């Protein structure tokens, strides 16, 4: 069965970076784009960027351009989202999701807390 399994919760200080992983299984890794989305407490879902594992193309939200980097490891069927220069307002749950049009499978979410 299709699964996206994310890494565990993280705590970082302001100015630091965080890297969250999303391991895919149960389907052909290169067949679907992987998106990264975040949800701050009580807020709407916010798209950050995507990667096409097949050709390594990426696209980022203008809001996060320069601070977010999405990469993939083909041998591990895993994508990574790294967010740098963390601010308190980056405290959120970060999700990966599979989808070229409809996003039919999601990771369980990773809580990133930015705290001094």
Partner 1 sequence: DIQMTQSPSSLSASVGDRVTITCQASQDIRNYLNWYQQKPGKAPKLLIYDASNLATGVPSRFSGSGSATDFTFTISSLQPEDIATYYCQQYDNFPLFGGGTRVEIK
Decide: 78 and 57 in contact? Cβ < 8 Å.
no
With left for phi above 0 and alpha for psi between -120 and 50, is residue 62 left, alpha or beta? alpha
Q: Which two tokens stand for residue 116?
A: 């001094």
Q: Which of 10, 69, 84, 103 binds partner 1 (CB under 8 A)?
A: 103
- Cβ neighbors of 95 (< 8 A, separation 6 or more) are 6, 36, 37, 38, 39, 45, 106, 107, 109, 110
DSSP 32: S
- Does 44 sit near partner 1 (CB under 8 A)? yes
Q: Taking the complex as a whole, how short is the minimal distance between the CB of residue 98 and partner 1, in angstroms?
A: 10
Which one of the spans 15-23, 66-74, 83-91, 102-110 is the region binding partner 1 (CB under 8 A)?
A: 102-110
Nearer to partner 1, 9 or 16 (CB): 9
Residue 61 sits in the site that holds partner 1 (CB under 8 A): yes
Residues at the interface with partner 1 (CB under 8 A): 35, 37, 44-47, 50, 59, 61-62, 95, 97, 101-104, 106-109
């Amino acid at each position: 069965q299709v699964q996206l399994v994310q890494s565990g919760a993280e705590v970082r200080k302001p100015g630091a970076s965080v890297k969250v992983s999303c391991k895919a299984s149960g389907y052909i890794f290169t067949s679907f784009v992987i998106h990264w989305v975040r949800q701050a407490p009580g807020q709407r879902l916010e798209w950050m960027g995507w990667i096409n594992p097949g050709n390594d193309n990426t696209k980022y939200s203008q809001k996060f351009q320069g601070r977010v980097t999405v990469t993939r490891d083909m041998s591990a069927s895993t994508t990574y989202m790294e967010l740098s220069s963390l601010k308190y307002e980056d405290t959120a749950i970060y999700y990966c999701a599979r989808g070229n049009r409809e996003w039919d499978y999601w990771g369980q979410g990773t809580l990133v807390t930015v705290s001094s």
